[in-house]
Structure 1
Amino acid sequence: MSVPGNLVNTLSMPLRWGDMDSYGHANNTVYFRFFEEARIVWLASMDLGGSEAETGPIIIKTSATFLKELSHPATVSVKTYADKAGNTSLDTYHTITDENTGELYAEGYAKIVWFDKVARSSMRLPDSLRALATD
């Protein structure tokens, strides 16, 4: 598997019992929550996008490809990759793998747009994020 972009963060997270649905595997929304948590932790580690900040990320497009059932108990590794940057946006990708076996459960994508919370409009992507992007 080849994920585009530069690896910028890895986060370990447990699958909770309540994350499973009536079919006995993780509900599809849980994968998006894993992607979200990894993205928020990564941006916070860069002192970007905090809830009190006047600017931050919004997601304008997201997707996931579910490759393997994820069932409790499991601990996953969520990797985040920064790819191409536009004037106001950054393409990011994620993978979810089993922390112990390395088996790939899902791949994800999110287009981040940097947002001015006061003006309620997009704004230039921070240089610190632009520096992580690929050419």
Structure 2
Amino acid sequence: MRHIYPCPMRWSDMDAYGHVNNAVFVRYLEEARINFLFRPDKEFQQGSVVARHEIDYKRQLVHRHHPVDIELWVAEIRAASFTIAYEVKDEDAVYVRASTVVVPFDFEAQRPRRITPQEREFLQQYLEPAGAEEGEAVAA
């Protein structure tokens, strides 16, 4: 199953050529990740930090006044980290494919922590290992 986040685009996202600046995509991924993980109806509430981003820019995204969709899913779950995969896309075009390694973090103790059983259960609903067929998407 995939989560879909309709990401709003802002005039300030453009570079001098009228395209969405490559650095802005990191913020788009962050917005989608927060929308996915930190909602009151979900089990992932204790906090996390990003350990790594990988971004493949596929084509330029021109600024417009309607959102761009970000589909995301879980590509891997480990004991103390998980990987989120993304596609920033429209129905007929993929602009970015990316992944983020996320580490659950205990902010009081100031250290990484293991994924709780409840968090693992939540993440497994969206698990789509690399090479799997396109999953069912669910809107935010």
TM over 0.5: yes
- Find the counterpart in structure 1 of residue 77 from structure 2: 85
- Find the counterpart in structure 2 of residue 95 from structure 1: 87
Amino acid at match of 1:83: A
Using the TM superposition, give the Cα deviation of residue 69 of structure 1 relative to its aligned residue in structure 2, in angstroms: 0.4
- Find the counterpart in structure 2 of residue 71 from structure 1: 62
SS in 2 for 1:104: strand
SS in 2 for 1:72: coil
TM-score relative to the length of structure 2: 0.79
Amino acid at match of 1:14: P
Q: Among 18, 25, 35, which residue is 2:12 paired with? A: 18
Question: 1:79 and 1:86 mapped to 2: Cα distance?
Answer: 21
| Residues 1:36 and 2:27 are matched in the alignment | no
Unpaired stretches in structure 1, ≥5 consecutive residues: 1-5, 50-54
Using the TM superposition, give the Cα deviation of residue 102 of structure 1 relative to its aligned residue in structure 2, in angstroms: 3.1
Q: Which 4+ stretches in 1 moved above 2 angstroms?
A: 126-129, 131-135
Question: 1:23 and 1:72 mapped to 2: Cα distance?
Answer: 10
SS in 2 for 1:15: coil
| Residues 1:104 and 2:104 are matched in the alignment | no
Question: 2:108 and 2:117 mapped to 1: Cα distance?
Answer: 20
- Find the counterpart in structure 1 of residue 132 from structure 2: none
| Alpha-carbon RMSD | 1.7
Amino acid at match of 1:89: S
Using the TM superposition, give the Cα deviation of residue 47 of structure 1 relative to its aligned residue in structure 2, in angstroms: 5.0
* Structure with the higher fraction of residues in strand conformation: 1
Using the TM superposition, give the Cα deviation of residue 80 of structure 1 relative to its aligned residue in structure 2, in angstroms: 1.1
| Alpha-carbon spacing, 1:130–1:14, altered in 2? closer, same or farther (3 Å) | same
SS in 2 for 1:28: coil
- Find the counterpart in structure 2 of residue 52 from structure 1: none
- Find the counterpart in structure 2 of residue 3 from structure 1: none
Q: Among 20, 23, 27, which residue is 2:21 paired with? A: 27
Using the TM superposition, give the Cα deviation of residue 60 of structure 1 relative to its aligned residue in structure 2, in angstroms: 0.4
- Find the counterpart in structure 2 of residue 114 from structure 1: 104
Moved more, 114-123 or 72-81: 72-81
- Find the counterpart in structure 1 of residue 48 from structure 2: 57
Question: 2:87 and 2:117 mapped to 1: Cα distance?
Answer: 25
